[in-house]
Structure 1
Amino acid sequence: MTIPILSTKLNIPLSRPKIVSRPRLIERLNTGFQRRLTLISASAGSGKTTLLGEWLERCERPVAWLSLDAGDNDPARFLTYLCAALQTIGRNSGEGVFALLHSPQLPPIESIVVAMLNEIETNHNPFVLVLDDYHVITSETIANAIALLLDRMPSYMHLVIATREEPCLPIARLRVRDQLTEVRDTDLGFTKAEAAEFLLAVMELPLGAEDIAFLASRTEGWIAGLQAAALSFRGQKDVSSLIEKFSGTHPFVLDYLLEEVIQHLSPVTQTFLLRTSILDRLCGPLCEAVIGDPCGEYGSTTASGQDMLEALERANLFIVPLDNERHWYRYHHLFAEILRKRLYQTKLSSDGHDEAAQCHVRASVWYEKQGLEIEAFCHAAAANDVKRAARLVEGGGMPLLFRGAVTPVLNWLDELPKQVLDARPSLWVLHASALLMAGQITRVEQKLLAAEHALHRVEQDATQRDLLGHIAAIRATIAVSKHQSETILAESKRALEYLHPDNVPVRTAAVWSLGYAHQLQGNRKEATKAYADALATSQSIGHKMITILATLGLGLMQEADNQLTLAVETYQRVIQLAGEPPLPVVCEAHLGLARIFYEWNDLESAKQHGERSVQLARGIEQSDRTVAGEVLLARLMLADGEVSGASAMLATGEHVARQYHFQNQMPNIADAQVMVLIRQGNRTAAAQVAQRHGRYISQARVHLADDEASEALTILEPLRMEAESKQQEDVRLTVTSLLAVALHMHGEKEKALRMLRDALTLAAPGGFVRMFVDAGAPMVRLLREAAKHAFMTDYLRKLLTACEAENMANQLETVHDAEHHLIEPLSSRELEVLTLIAQGLSNREISEQLFIALATVKGHNRVIFDKLQVKRRTEAVARARLLGLLQDFHP
């Protein structure tokens, strides 16, 4: 579900019919277009919004306006409104962000801001973005987003921030770089001439020059103070004597003046003001709902709420219209604060009830009827109506947590006393869910234990069982991040046993986690079924997160079954589903693509996806996905001849895995370390690593590197039988290819060729290459032997070319002979292209042979010619043979 948008937050406040024009400040704001940020930082009542309204009326640029409130500290809600504000001026910005707002965890803030700016870049017309009341924002995440926006936004975009407090932004740096225009309290204060115009023309208060000068001095030009003074003096006989009594700093003056204003209003108007002061925004129907009339004191003949609002505006009584139709208003902030203070001091109404709480409840009821559940919840929480707030949070099957209210809900739950939570165990479960969504995983189990303890003391019914099921589903989700298959399996089954049949969202999540448990345990058939079931249900109910995760799971199963082309399509579908910017979980799709492109020997594409995976994985708390991505990048470095770099990266990955107990990554790290150690010639250490971690295939690789074919066969033959019985197609292919090499080394050439034929039959549909390349020189010899028998010619030729190029590159890396004669060594891909050139293939034939674009082949040619310092193909081949780069490259 999307986050409801309150359109009045996006409307530029209308300027009053009578205002004091501020040409000196308007000119300063106009010159600010040359800089990135205009900061209007001043105390309440200093005229910030009025100045902005006057300026923007004259501004020729489109203006996106956003009035902020405390609820906007939730990053998802803030981003929703920010994008909505940009769309009011026709900016194609925010669609990608909107798609992510109901997800459990936002992507990294940098990704969101960059995506937003990329969309803004589609239209280069100048515009202004205004953030009003920025002082209500206390979220560090949002502050970081705005700082990043300031740093990277285009020159035709200008940001204006109006705030009571200094924002947590790099103000000093912007000031030094002349990227900041500032308007402060001292700038906004009325001069004596402006104060006179305000009091005489705007407030229509007949005062002498001395009284005006005295008031201007006492209030220090503070506009709210002057306005309050004028209101309190209306109808008074001896104004001069009253003026002489004013003293003190702004807050005290304002308290006194507002008291003076309020006490001269009718009881009906005072009641209206006090009860509606709890609202951030006001409209007639909402005010009527909040006023109520429990004691009949408001009177049935009273004007409507809309009439009252318009009357307050005509009286210039600290009320600001928010739209052209005069439908929505807000009180001046300090005026509202004083009214609320007085309301809470009154506390009890004549019937003994908490009047403020009653007003909040009535507001909550009204907002809920309008479909604005977040606002309804906030008022229920303010009323301390736990039952109503809890019901709103639960959301009738789709919790409010999924609608952009994680922060307010979590703050409310954090403040509730233990006895309240114990009395309603569902709140403990909601607390755990909110913490999980906020990424505070370490606190989740504590809340779940408290929920279980509270549930033990109540009689079990369908509701209680459903809560127990929800608890189990949360535990299963936590166990997924830790790859604890037994825990996932047990908790998922428990969740499905206890969850109510109607609780479809949580049941679907449990089915998905059950699939992951089957995957970890190697039960691929059951895993695929669970993922497919979860996908079908999540698509039917619009549960986007499970749709993404289940699709991802199916991609992993396709990859394990050697269906690489199909898996690529599935992983790309995951990326499309996640939108832009992507969810952090999409790191798994990029990692899958990196693995497949590596297997296809497209190392450049593999590197791009590997680096993207690591970048996204850093946005997930307590996840081993970063290490998984770095292991793949290390293997890419090894394939490119950067043996030392690969070794260093794996050492770092191992340290992180041990530090954070990422045991699931240790086998992958060990396999990669064995390959590095073999390349370094340190086979003893390689054997020790493989044995210590129980990596049988890696042990076989070490034996093959040591020409110990018998020992390798002893390991590989049982592994092949086991892989076939368990239908583990990926393991079966790897073992079969290595088994063919071992048999060839053992002198069983005919059997080796039959085994190779089996391996090629398994590998050809998926287009596997690196599996053969990584087997090293023994595989080259076997493929050459196979080439003489001329079976599967095209695929065999491709593999032989790749393996020979890699083998020669490894030889050159060891002896460094050619490196002393070249400006820069040839890469594996360049050696591959050079080999095909020597074989007489045209550029087009090379592109078809290697499955790369013709332009890419031509690009490789230019680089090869530059490195060999030649100009023609024939010269390149001759020089390569002279340097020993093409020796024995004859299939």
Structure 2
Amino acid sequence: MLLTTKFLRPTSDPRAVWRERLCRLLQPGSSKRLNLVVAPAGFGKTTLVSQWCTQQGTSTAWLSLDDHDDEPRRFWQYIVGAFEHSGMAGLETCRQQLSHCSVQELEGPITGLINALAEDGSQWSLVLDDFHLIRDTDIQRQFSYFVDYLPPGVTLTLASRTEPPLPLARWRVRQWVADIHPGLLAFSEEECRHFFRETMGLKVSEQEIHKICRKTEGWVAAMQLSALSGVSRSTGDSALPITVDVDERRINDYVLSEVLDQQPEAIRDFLLSTACCPKLCAPLCDAVRGTSNSQAMLEQLLKQNLFLIPLDTRNHWFRYHDLFRDALLQRAWVDSPDMAEQHWQRAVSWLLSHNHVQEGIAQIVRQRDWSWLARVLAEHGNNLIHGGYHLPVLNWLDSLPADMVEDNPQLQMLRIWSLFFANRVDMLEPLLSTLEDVLDQQVADSHPDAEGALGLQSEISLIRSYLARTRSDDKSANDLTRQVLKDIDHTRIPLKSVTYYGIGLDYYGKGDLPSAREALRSAIHYGELERKPNTVLSSGGLLAWIQYNRGDIDDALETCTSVRRWVDQHYSDPAQPRLISCWQNSALTEIYRERNEPELATSHLTPLMEHVNNGTEPGQHVIIQYVRGHLAFSEGRFEEAIEALEDAATVARRRHDHILFEPPACSALLVRCYLADGRLQQAERWAQSVTDEHFSNPLNREQNQISIARVMVAAGRPADAIAILAPLRLSAEEDQHFRHLVEILTVYSEALYVEGKIPEADQMLSQAVHRASDAGFMRLFAEESPNVRQRLLELPALRAPSRWNSSLLAMLRAIGDGSKSPEPAKDRAKRPAGTSVALTEPLSQREKEVLVLINEGLANKDIASRMKVAPATIKAHIRNLYGKMGVSRRTEALAKARELALLE
């Protein structure tokens, strides 16, 4: 039960100042997605947004948040409730999903909400008041996903006391955010009067208000300075006029003379000694100052409103207003440069030792202390790279003097790893050779760090093993990897996780799924010990992919959940893009597609598409396009599927030397799309051109053979298909490739049906159903031919009461075109050729030509070229053809044409 009062917009206080200028800033824009109104309590955030809502001509939903809403399911239930309360329809399914799905599966209903907003097409505004009460990191990540994929015309407005930990920097670059922060709230003279008399509680005369407003030009930060100074200099019931020029130098002087110098000595010393901190907390300030009372000092500053901005709602982390901090730093370095240097060093040391490495490095780079930066990168660089920060590490290395890197083998190795993870593998060979020469020289000279040289040799071998995989040199890759594993216990460098991941890739490439599974479990185990989140995610993702292909869907989901939980627990930063793994998101896309949950599948595919659009390494590109194509194929979007799979196959062929493993068999899935889209001749040409020599991975070889068998069945050669499938069935069962086994049994049954061996075919199909039920496969059957789907609807094995049976039958019935089997060829032959009694109007000669070319498997542009007409003309012919035949896509048109003997 939801509290409907939380959806009611507060009534504006008649005493509140009308902020017309700020209301205009909140108006929706062409690219805007988010209004961010951030200010301390009492700054009129709710009043401002409420006033703005009264001007809106769009549909507006309001939600007042409270402490109880800091729970993912409840938060999103109230979001959906806010839209429904404001009159939006079509959210019933989304609301039902929220009531029963797990926290890990909430992206499904969130995707449903995004889709519903897109389908609604209206201009919507959603206001979330008191967003600072939302501290749950799962909600923050989910909300980031929600904002990332909002449809056009939807604007969110957040009113918060603190800036939320969302990827705001990225959104600002994209011009999605309109910020209204205290430093930007410039007041008119009337607003200035309200500010002094109501907000600050000062009795200021009209003359003084006019002068201060004119001098500050309505800049609220300067007016705060004026007000603080006015308090200290006021006499009686009025304040003395303050002259403040909106100029950084003068504002600095003013801060120093009228604010800092007016403070008690203890406050002044605290401000100057902690100005070196980019952000503040009590332990950090204590370390810098050598005291133990910093928490009380911070709370005193907050109470006095001395430009201390909270970064959370627990009064733990703060930062100074930038202008205020700049003035403090200027005074600190001028008054006592040695003490300022000491404070700065203590602050950076504390940040580095308390897992705030990036903030610490940023301060070192700002001071240009290159020798300290080199030491920090040598100590922390490896973990930063494996934590997903290889590009910043590369930038920091580039900022160092060249000779400092050349003389340091460890820094050279960091550059190699950074380039490797950035997929700039073409640059690695000369760098590896140079590093090997340096290490050989150190060993020859009995260098003090000879043990470190041995560790770097192991890293070099590991890099070379991955490069060998790009050349399909599996033997060298395997030998190098196992040598690293043999030597690894004698080094100080944590490499076991990455090494076991390489071994897992090797076993996966050979089709040895049980051995790959064990190696990847070791990679996850050591990755957690070595604190390498990227390796943990990639190893867990590939493990889940393997578990899925083995038929262990529940185990695959558990692997993804546990790995995600560990990464989010140890490496969660909602202000940064969420670490994702191509393998894991692809596995989840496949799993939820197979379980007939397309919205959840899409929610995991969508972040991957950003990588495709922005450019990613070729192996990942192929995997992503493969799962995208498979999802489109499952949903009957054959043109989109063909486009994605043809792109994947092209990249796999052209960039073969840059891919560390053999990606999924895109061409095998592509031929299924050709068959489903009625392009039999194109599918036959593919079957004749592809041989087993194209594949080293047994999984891909099996998929290739299954697709060839499908082509033979479609071409009326069931015996040839059975000759392929019979031995393939045995090998798939022996190798525990259970998903392929279900597919083999299904295609085998179809071949038997074509041969007229109905009892044997039913038995074979029943075995496929039994295997699929055990594993949880479902969508696999919806992808089969109409004939197989009809046989499944009539199969006795599916009449037994079970949840899986009921779900499968419901899905098959919902498909629609599987309710009737194609007319056998022998019955069609009894009718005169060209019979068209079922057509609303006879086909024209040109339409018949187009139909024949569609049957040949040609795309629209190829048909236009063959007929020497414009593509738009072909589209018009196809549109007319579909209308006359009463169909909506190619497969239906060809089935209807064969039924009416139009192609004979």
Instruction: State whether TM-score is above 0.5.
Output: yes
Within a 5 Å distance, the mapping from 1:56-135 to structure 2 comes to 90-93=69-72, 114=107, 127-128=128-129
- Are residue 831 (structure 1) and residue 766 (structure 2) matched? no
1:276 positional shift: 1.9
1:337 positional shift: 0.9
Matched residue SS, 1:23:
coil
State whether residues 548 and 577 of structure 1, in contact with CA within 8 Å, keep that contact through their aligned partners in structure 2.
no
- Change in Cα spacing, 1:155 to 1:573, as seen in structure 2 (3 Å) is same
- Change in Cα spacing, 1:845 to 1:51, as seen in structure 2 (3 Å) is closer
Q: Which amino acid aligns with 1:571?
A: A
State whether residues 39 and 181 of structure 1, in contact with CA within 8 Å, keep that contact through their aligned partners in structure 2.
no
1:335 positional shift: 1.5
Question: Could you tell me which of 353, 360, 383 is aligned with 2:344?
Answer: 360
- How many equivalent residue pairs? 706
- Are residue 24 (structure 1) and residue 17 (structure 2) matched? yes
1:274 positional shift: 3.1
State whether residues 467 and 499 of structure 1, in contact with CA within 8 Å, keep that contact through their aligned partners in structure 2.
no
Alpha-carbon separation, structure 1, partners of 2:729 and 2:300: 91
- Are residue 795 (structure 1) and residue 794 (structure 2) matched? no
- Are residue 464 (structure 1) and residue 420 (structure 2) matched? no
> For structure 2, which runs of at least 5 residues remain unmatched after alignment?
1-13, 51-64, 76-103, 115-125, 134-140, 566-577, 771-781, 822-826, 832-837, 839-894, 900-904
Question: Could you tell me which of 619, 625, 637 is aligned with 1:624?
Answer: 619
Alpha-carbon separation, structure 1, partners of 2:583 and 2:634: 27
Task: Tell me the residue number matched to 1:220.
Answer: 217
Q: Which amino acid aligns with 2:271?
A: L
Task: Tell me the residue number matched to 1:332.
Answer: 321
Alpha-carbon separation, structure 2, partners of 1:169 and 1:687: 50
State whether residues 110 and 146 of structure 2, in contact with CA within 8 Å, keep that contact through their aligned partners in structure 1.
no
Task: Tell me the residue number matched to 2:690.
Answer: 690
State whether residues 174 and 180 of structure 1, in contact with CA within 8 Å, keep that contact through their aligned partners in structure 2.
no
- Change in Cα spacing, 1:386 to 1:263, as seen in structure 2 (3 Å) is same
Alpha-carbon separation, structure 1, partners of 2:584 and 2:342: 46
State whether residues 667 and 695 of structure 1, in contact with CA within 8 Å, keep that contact through their aligned partners in structure 2.
no
Alpha-carbon separation, structure 2, partners of 1:590 and 1:231: 57
Q: Deviations over 1:733-755 (max 9, x none)?
A: 979999x99xxx9999x999998
Within a 5 Å distance, the mapping from 1:397-416 to structure 2 comes to 399-400=383-384, 412-416=396-400
Q: Which amino acid aligns with 2:689?
A: V
- Are residue 571 (structure 1) and residue 564 (structure 2) matched? no
Alpha-carbon separation, structure 2, partners of 1:408 and 1:254: 34
Q: Which amino acid aligns with 1:92?
A: E
Task: Tell me the residue number matched to 1:520.
Answer: 509
Matched residue SS, 2:129:
strand
Q: Deviations over 1:2-54 (max 9, x none)?
A: xxxxxxxxxxxxxxxxxxx993168999999999988578xxxxxx7357556
- Change in Cα spacing, 1:40 to 1:25, as seen in structure 2 (3 Å) is farther
Q: Which amino acid aligns with 2:462?
A: A
Alpha-carbon separation, structure 2, partners of 1:727 and 1:144: 37
Alpha-carbon separation, structure 2, partners of 1:534 and 1:410: 25
Q: Deviations over 1:432-478 (max 9, x none)?
A: 54566677777777876776576566435112322332344355557
Task: Tell me the residue number matched to 1:49.
Answer: 39
State whether residues 792 and 798 of structure 2, in contact with CA within 8 Å, keep that contact through their aligned partners in structure 1.
yes
Task: Tell me the residue number matched to 2:809.
Answer: 857
Alpha-carbon separation, structure 1, partners of 2:46 and 2:195: 23
State whether residues 105 and 600 of structure 2, in contact with CA within 8 Å, keep that contact through their aligned partners in structure 1.
no
Within a 5 Å distance, the mapping from 1:861-876 to structure 2 comes to none
1:334 positional shift: 1.0
Alpha-carbon separation, structure 2, partners of 1:468 and 1:861: 61
- Change in Cα spacing, 1:782 to 1:288, as seen in structure 2 (3 Å) is closer
Question: Could you tell me which of 505, 510, 533 is aligned with 2:499?
Answer: 510
1:92 positional shift: 1.8
Instruction: Give me the TM-score of the superposition, normalised by structure 1.
Output: 0.57
State whether residues 548 and 578 of structure 1, in contact with CA within 8 Å, keep that contact through their aligned partners in structure 2.
yes
1:336 positional shift: 0.9
- Change in Cα spacing, 1:757 to 1:381, as seen in structure 2 (3 Å) is closer
Q: Which amino acid aligns with 2:509?
A: L
Which of the pair has more CA radius of gyration?
Answer: 1
Task: Tell me the residue number matched to 2:680.
Answer: 680
Q: Deviations over 1:524-558 (max 9, x none)?
A: 78656644544564577776655565566566777
Task: Tell me the residue number matched to 1:601.
Answer: none
State whether residues 472 and 492 of structure 1, in contact with CA within 8 Å, keep that contact through their aligned partners in structure 2.
yes
State whether residues 288 and 343 of structure 2, in contact with CA within 8 Å, keep that contact through their aligned partners in structure 1.
yes
- Change in Cα spacing, 1:57 to 1:309, as seen in structure 2 (3 Å) is farther
Task: Tell me the residue number matched to 2:251.
Answer: 254
Task: Tell me the residue number matched to 1:600.
Answer: none
State whether residues 657 and 666 of structure 1, in contact with CA within 8 Å, keep that contact through their aligned partners in structure 2.
yes
- Are residue 489 (structure 1) and residue 482 (structure 2) matched? no
Alpha-carbon separation, structure 2, partners of 1:760 and 1:273: 71
Alpha-carbon separation, structure 1, partners of 2:506 and 2:17: 68
- Counting aligned pairs with the same residue, the percent is 17
Is 28-37 or 221-230 further displaced after alignment? 28-37
Alpha-carbon separation, structure 2, partners of 1:473 and 1:499: 11
State whether residues 222 and 244 of structure 2, in contact with CA within 8 Å, keep that contact through their aligned partners in structure 1.
no
Within a 5 Å distance, the mapping from 1:340-419 to structure 2 comes to 340-344=329-333, 348-349=337-338, 355-367=339-351, 375=359, 378-379=362-363, 382=366, 399-400=383-384, 412-419=396-403
1:586 positional shift: 1.6
- Change in Cα spacing, 1:387 to 1:224, as seen in structure 2 (3 Å) is same
State whether residues 282 and 316 of structure 2, in contact with CA within 8 Å, keep that contact through their aligned partners in structure 1.
yes
Question: Could you tell me which of 396, 404, 410 is aligned with 1:420?
Answer: 404
Instruction: Give me the TM-score of the superposition, normalised by structure 2.
Output: 0.57
Alpha-carbon separation, structure 1, partners of 2:701 and 2:329: 69
- Change in Cα spacing, 1:307 to 1:584, as seen in structure 2 (3 Å) is closer
> For structure 1, which runs of at least 5 residues remain unmatched after alignment?
1-20, 42-47, 61-85, 97-110, 133-140, 294-302, 350-354, 598-603, 698-722, 803-825, 870-877
- Are residue 657 (structure 1) and residue 652 (structure 2) matched? yes
Task: Tell me the residue number matched to 1:784.
Answer: 757
Matched residue SS, 1:399:
helix
Q: Which amino acid aligns with 1:515?
A: G
- Change in Cα spacing, 1:274 to 1:348, as seen in structure 2 (3 Å) is same
- Change in Cα spacing, 1:223 to 1:327, as seen in structure 2 (3 Å) is same
Q: Which amino acid aligns with 1:512?
A: Y
Alpha-carbon separation, structure 2, partners of 1:537 and 1:776: 45
- Change in Cα spacing, 1:794 to 1:368, as seen in structure 2 (3 Å) is same
Task: Tell me the residue number matched to 1:585.
Answer: 583
- Change in Cα spacing, 1:434 to 1:195, as seen in structure 2 (3 Å) is same
State whether residues 610 and 629 of structure 1, in contact with CA within 8 Å, keep that contact through their aligned partners in structure 2.
no
- Change in Cα spacing, 1:399 to 1:315, as seen in structure 2 (3 Å) is same
- Change in Cα spacing, 1:496 to 1:607, as seen in structure 2 (3 Å) is same
Q: Deviations over 1:842-888 (max 9, x none)?
A: x865445999624653675687799779xxxxxxxx99x9999999x
Alpha-carbon separation, structure 2, partners of 1:370 and 1:172: 34
State whether residues 746 and 765 of structure 2, in contact with CA within 8 Å, keep that contact through their aligned partners in structure 1.
no
Task: Tell me the residue number matched to 1:99.
Answer: none
State whether residues 798 and 805 of structure 2, in contact with CA within 8 Å, keep that contact through their aligned partners in structure 1.
no
- Change in Cα spacing, 1:215 to 1:544, as seen in structure 2 (3 Å) is closer
CA RMSD between the two structures: 7.0
- Change in Cα spacing, 1:622 to 1:401, as seen in structure 2 (3 Å) is closer
Within a 5 Å distance, the mapping from 1:138-153 to structure 2 comes to 147-148=147-148
- Change in Cα spacing, 1:32 to 1:519, as seen in structure 2 (3 Å) is closer
Q: Deviations over 1:106-137 (max 9, x none)?
A: xxxxx99957957999xxx98535589xxxxx
Matched residue SS, 1:337:
helix
Q: Deviations over 1:61-88 (max 9, x none)?
A: xxxxxxxxxxxxxxxxxxxxxxxxx996
Alpha-carbon separation, structure 1, partners of 2:302 and 2:182: 30
Task: Tell me the residue number matched to 1:807.
Answer: none
- Change in Cα spacing, 1:37 to 1:167, as seen in structure 2 (3 Å) is same
State whether residues 518 and 524 of structure 1, in contact with CA within 8 Å, keep that contact through their aligned partners in structure 2.
yes
- Change in Cα spacing, 1:605 to 1:445, as seen in structure 2 (3 Å) is farther
